[in-house]
Amino acid sequence: MFNARVLDLRSREEIKQEMKKIGATAPGIQIMLKKADSRLVKVEGVGTKEANIIKQEMLSAGGDAATDKGTLDHSVEESDLILMGTTSQYEKLLSKLNIQPFQCKQIAAEVEEVLENFEKRDFVLKLPKKKIPLDRTLVMGVLNVTPDSFSDGGKFLEPDTAINHGEEMAKQGADIIDIGGESTRPYSDPVSQEEELKRVRPVVEELLQRIDVPISIDTMHPEVAKEIVEMGAQMVNDVSGLRDEQMMSTVAELDVPVVIMHMLGEPKTMQEKPEYKDVMGDICRYLRNQVDAAVKGGISREKIIVDPGIGFGKTVEHNLEIVRRLGEMRSLGFPILIGASRKSFIGKILDADETERMEGSLAAMVSSIQNGANIVRVHDVKESVRAVKIADAVHS
């Protein structure tokens, strides 16, 4: 018996280390890495002419490409492509496409960009007062100063209670505390900016005096973001994904990190009948468009974080697919934040209310970390910090 097995290696670094173990030379490893590191890349809306050229060039490079059956006889005008190849094969393909006609050069540029983005690991959270390398998973503690949030609504509405809870999360190891004064639970009604500020202002003001943990303001309103950041908060978490142009310009002016989240519709209606053609494709397309708009609006790329919006206009199946395929969002080239904590999809799977979802939340969180999450937004800080340490240790 020779003890053969299939290697389940999920990064170039793991492949490199495995080759080192068997005594491969350093120059040889660099050459072989390009042949061992296989990727699937999906490109949407490619014209038939370009699709046929790309398929032929990928075949000649030793890889392959799946296309609509109608591309061969031109019975369709365009096709999505799924490219299959190693790094070496992609290099050959891209060099050929750069000298091909039609839009082949533009397609090559986008494929090259997403391949580079997918491998990016050197993210740094650049807050006004400190820089945090994302070489480990950060834990963002949730502090809802609302009467109607889905999990802890009313629990921390009184300022003193909220302040004490914020202090406790800091002691438990939270890297960031995310404070919000407006519920975005499904079917929730909006509140005025004045009411939102009335709820969060005293809590933020006091916590800034008591803890060193950076504070994030969870809001969709530019006036709230501006006032709270000017008080000392260091980050904006916008669940509406910078749809408001005034919010975009405000964040650019404040020059703080911002979370751009995907939400289907509005909190009041988002869960009525959520539908997608391709849930991950639709989310990535939306986030890419919002990121492009944000950069054009003056927000630095190094200040952007993306969030797929678990539970915001998604079914149970959608949420599970997002966690399972979260790594695809690495193609955008930004740190990924995910908030699965206590969400309804966990409750439906476990048949458990909000108070009985900790284990499910931790499982979804760890799966998200395995699949690419850089920041996890949680209610149960102590338990999450411990689980994160193990998840990070496994993947270090």
Reported confidence tier of residue 344, pLDDT bands at 50, 70, 90:
very high
pLDDT tens figures, 353-390 = 989 999 999 999 999 999 999 999 999 999 999 999 99
Distance of alpha carbon 330 from alpha carbon 306, whole angstroms? 10
Q: pLDDT tens across 134-180, in order?
A: 999 999 999 999 875 545 545 666 899 999 999 999 999 999 999 99
Residues 177 and 96 placed together within one structural domain of the fold: no
pLDDT interval class at 186 (50, 70, 90): confident
Q: Is the pLDDT of residue 113 over 80?
A: yes
Residue 378 included in any domain: yes
80-84: average pLDDT: 97
Residues 180 and 271 reside in one and the same domain:
yes
Amino acid 144: pLDDT: 92
Residue 289 in 3-state DSSP?
Answer: helix
What pLDDT score does 157 carry? 66
Q: So what's the pLDDT on residue 151?
A: 53
126: left (phi over 0), alpha (psi -120 to 50) or beta: beta
| Structure tokens, 202 | 């005293």
Q: Which residue has the tokens 């937004």?
A: 377
Considering its fold, how many domains does the chain have in total? 2
153, 390 in Cβ contact below 8 A? Answer: no
Residues 97 and 183 in one domain: no
Given a cut of 60, whether residue 189 has pLDDT beyond it is: yes
So what's the pLDDT on residue 10? 83
Is 367 part of any domain? yes
Whether the predicted pLDDT of 184 surpasses 90 = no
Secondary structure percentages of the chain, helix, strand, coil, to 5: 50, 15, 35
Which entry of 16, 96, 199, 377 is annotated as an active-site residue?
377
Residue 339 has pLDDT above 60, yes or no: yes
**Domain's final residue, options 93, 118, 143:** 118
Whether residue 125 has pLDDT greater than 70? yes
Residues 140 and 244 in one domain: yes
Which DSSP string do the residues of 30-57 spell out, in sequence order? HHHHHHH-EEEEEEEEEEHHHHHHHHHH
Active site residue 5: no
Does the pTM of the predicted model rise above 0.75?
yes
Cβ–Cβ < 8 Å for 157, 145: yes
The pLDDT tens digits of the residues spanning 304-337 come to 999 999 999 999 999 999 999 999 999 999 999 9
Express as a percent the part of the chain with pLDDT over 90: 87
Q: Are residues 261 and 276 in the same domain?
A: yes
- Asked if 355 and 377 count as a contact pair (C-beta separation under 8 A), the reply is no
Give the CB-side neighbour count of residue 292, counting CA atoms within 13 A: 6
pLDDT at 261 exceeding the cut of 90: yes
Q: Which carries the bigger pLDDT value, residue 34 or residue 187?
A: 34
Instruction: Check residue 285 and give its pLDDT.
Output: 96
Alpha-carbon torsion angle 140, 390, 315, 317, nearest 10: 160
**Given 303, 314, 343, 357, the catalytic residue:** 343
| pLDDT tens track for 214-250 | 999 999 999 999 999 999 999 999 999 999 999 999 9
Given 99, 118, 137, the domain boundary residue is: 118
377 flagged as catalytic: yes
What pLDDT was estimated at residue 155?
61
Residue 66: which domain range?
Answer: 37-118
Residue 153's pLDDT is 47
Tell whether 71 and 136 lie within a shared domain: no
**At CB < 8 A and 24+ separation, what contacts does 151-158 make?**
151/341, 151/342, 151/354, 151/379, 152/354, 152/379, 153/183, 153/185, 157/199
Same domain, residue pair 92 and 215: no
